[in-house]
């Protein structure tokens, strides 16, 4: 097999972070550029040829449209380049699931695209960054990774973008998948897939938008009133996602306010995992709501933004998109 040619696009995050001490808890993300990351990767003896580019040097809490637009453009170019076999995006962990899902919705399921990060900065004792990067190289260079959509590699596991989420604030094994868990296990020297590619030959689900409309997430809580709905609308929200109680519920006044908001409303859940099913606790047909199904609030927001950007506003059609995998 020929040596895989990997394009690495760096955005910052903990994988590029520095604490200035092996035991210091605090650190600054995005301190290590792609050239230094590539230099470190080349010392590992990986069977791959690297080229890289810095897209950003930020913590992923600050990532947004400018970085997403640049990433998408670079990945599309890499996919069209016969000299590139796979793409790796180094990324902070806080919003990796959102970036991965947005790219997954708007890229064809062709060459492997892998997001990777770290839970500990590069100079911390027990740093996981280089192992995760070596694992990502193993995945991005594997021909069997094609046709699976955008992937996320963390803690010796491979997750599909639609399933992955950050489920813990700390610890190297902070990532989980729902409704599927990991779809593969990986180490720097091995890769085991748990099934065949399920999206081979599929084009992009949606065209890349010119911009993403504003969508707000409302976190439900006991005693919540309807003020948050009005505030979000007053700030220009074109759609609303309810991070609801349990099965996506909220106090009666909130549900009523959402029903007359005049914008598309998606019911998700603040619970860590589980499906929000249609018409189970809330009469979605009556209110014109969309049930998020297996998507949490963050991904529900991304999908709703993409749907609105594509001109879709009909709740029934939106529900079909939330039902898809």
Residues 51 and 154 in one domain: yes
Which tens digits make up the pLDDT trace of 10-40?
999 999 888 887 777 778 788 888 998 888 8
Residues 248 and 169 in one domain: no
Residues 187 and 302 in one domain: no
Active site residue: 3, 11, 14, 106, which one? 14
Q: What is the 3-class SS of 17-52, one letter each residue? A: CECCCCCCCCCECCCCCHHHHHHHHHCCCCCCEEEE
Average pLDDT value for the chain: 95
d(CA 52, CA 221): 45
> Quick one: average pLDDT of 289-315?
98
d(CA 268, CA 294): 8
Number of domains making up the chain: 2
* Domain assignment present for 207: no
Is residue 14 part of the annotated active site? The answer reads yes
To the question of whether residue 94 is assigned a binding role by annotation, the answer is yes
Contact 110, 201 (CB under 8 A): no
To the question of whether residue 123 is assigned a binding role by annotation, the answer is no
* Domain assignment present for 238: yes
Q: What is the largest distance, in Å, between two alpha-carbon atoms of the chain?
A: 62
Residues 26 and 159 in one domain: yes
In 73-183, the DSSP E strands lie at 86-90, 113-116, 151-154, 157-160, 164-166, 175-177
Contact 54, 46 (CB under 8 A): no
> Quick one: average pLDDT of 202-229?
97
Residues 235 and 115 in one domain: no
- Whether 277 has a pLDDT exceeding 80, the answer reads yes
Domain range for residue 243? 215-323
Grouping H, G, I as helix, E, B as strand and the rest as coil, residue 182 is coil
Residues 145 and 236 in one domain: no
How confident is the model at residue 42, as a pLDDT? Answer: 84
Residues 189 and 312 in one domain: no
- Whether 1 has a pLDDT exceeding 70, the answer reads no
To the question of whether residue 93 is assigned a binding role by annotation, the answer is yes
Query: From its phi and psi, is residue 179 left (phi > 0), alpha (psi between -120 and 50) or beta?
Result: alpha
pLDDT band at 325; cut points 50, 70, 90: confident
Grouping H, G, I as helix, E, B as strand and the rest as coil, residue 166 is strand
Residues 177 and 61 in one domain: yes
Could you tell me what percent of the chain has a pLDDT over 70? 99
Residues 38 and 131 in one domain: yes
Grouping H, G, I as helix, E, B as strand and the rest as coil, residue 165 is strand
Residues 160 and 287 in one domain: no
Which tens digits make up the pLDDT trace of 161-194?
999 999 999 999 999 999 999 999 999 999 999 9
Which tens digits make up the pLDDT trace of 98-151?
999 999 999 999 999 999 999 998 888 888 889 999 999 999 999 999 999 999
How confident is the model at residue 230, as a pLDDT? Answer: 97
Q: What is the CATH number of the domain that holds 22?
A: 3.40.50.1170
Written as six digits, the tokens of 49 are 């040829």
Q: What is the CATH number of the domain that holds 310?
A: 3.40.50.40
């Amino acid at each position: 097999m020929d040596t895989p040619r990997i394009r690495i696009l760096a955005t910052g995050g903990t994988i590029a972070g520095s604490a200035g001490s092996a035991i210091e808890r605090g650190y600054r993300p995005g301190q290590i550029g792609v050239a230094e990351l590539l230099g470190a990767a080349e010392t590992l003896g990986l069977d791959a040829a690297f080229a890289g580019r810095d897209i950003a040097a930020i913590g992923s809490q600050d990532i947004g449209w400018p970085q997403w637009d640049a990433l998408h453009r670079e990945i599309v170019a890499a996919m069209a380049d016969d000299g590139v076999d796979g793409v790796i995006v180094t990324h902070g962990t806080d919003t990796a699931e959102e970036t991965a899902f947005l790219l997954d919705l708007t890229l064809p399921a062709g060459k492997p695209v892998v997001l990777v990060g770290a839970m500990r900065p590069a100079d911390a004792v027990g740093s996981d960054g280089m192992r995760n990067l070596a694992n990502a190289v193993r995945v991005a260079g594997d021909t069997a990774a094609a046709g699976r959509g955008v992937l996320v590699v963390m803690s010796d596991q491979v997750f599909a973008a639609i399933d992955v989420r950050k489920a813990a604030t700390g610890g190297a094994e902070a990532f989980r998948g729902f409704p599927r868990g990991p779809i593969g296990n990986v180490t720097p020297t091995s890769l085991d897939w748990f099934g065949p590619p399920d999206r081979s030959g599929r084009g992009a689900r949606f065209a890349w938008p010119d911009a993403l409309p504003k969508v707000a997430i409302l976190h439900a809580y006991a005693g919540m009133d309807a003020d948050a709905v009005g505030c979000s609308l007053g700030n220009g929200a074109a759609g609303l996602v309810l991070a609801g109680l349990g099965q996506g519920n909220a106090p009666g006044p909130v549900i009523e306010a959402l029903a007359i908001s005049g914008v598309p409303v998606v019911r998700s859940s603040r619970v860590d995992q589980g499906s929000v099913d249609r018409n189970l606790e809330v009469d979605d047909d009556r209110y014109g709501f969309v049930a998020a199904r297996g998507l949490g609030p963050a991904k529900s927001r991304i999908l709703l933004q993409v749907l609105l950007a594509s001109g879709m506003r009909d709740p029934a059609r939106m529900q079909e998109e939330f039902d898809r995998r």
